[in-house]
Chain A
Amino acid sequence: MATTEIHRYLRVGERRIALDPEGYLVTLDDWTPEVASALAQEEGRTLTEEHWEVIAVLRDFYARFESAPAMRPLVKAVGQALGPEKGRSLYLMKLFPDSPAKVAARLAGLPKPTHCL
């Protein structure tokens, strides 16, 4: 769920982007690729072409289903969009270590996935 609680601000160029306590955007419309890069940089991640195509899949998913996917549907959606080679949890674990569904949703400017713990 998107929260409305502003925990801190992320500086992106001239803009101040409000983040909730878990680092998700408070205002989903704030998202731009620059915001994603700034969020990634904060966590010491560098976004490659492979990251960006998964981020695009997530943004499409949210536009269509109004919900951020848990791991299983994320794997499935990536597989459908980018092919079976990439539709594997191992691949996503490597791209977005720790918790791919949560990390990738945050970078893609989605709310925190509601159906995973």
Chain B
Amino acid sequence: MILHILNRAPGTSLVYREALAGMGPEDRLLLIEDGVNGALPSQVRHFEPVSNRLFALREDLASRGLVGRCDETVQVVDIDGFVELTEEADKTVSWF
């Protein structure tokens, strides 16, 4: 399992499409930095193919006032959760 990390928002960068193309059936996607904008209900459709494997970093949501505004399908993790996801993965791939 690969942990993919995306730090760009779907509204400003198309890199999310390449991240999705790179994801295998077990892989997970963690949204960080501006990437967390993709966790909004209006944006989350872009990540529909991986909806059960979509995570967002709480600290980056919090700094943007988005904690309570996340789509309910997104699993919110804090930095410790980020570390756990990394440990569970064979490798990580960053998309930016």
Check A-B contact in the complex, CB < 8 A: no
Q: Chain B: residues with CB nearer than 8 A to chain A? A: none
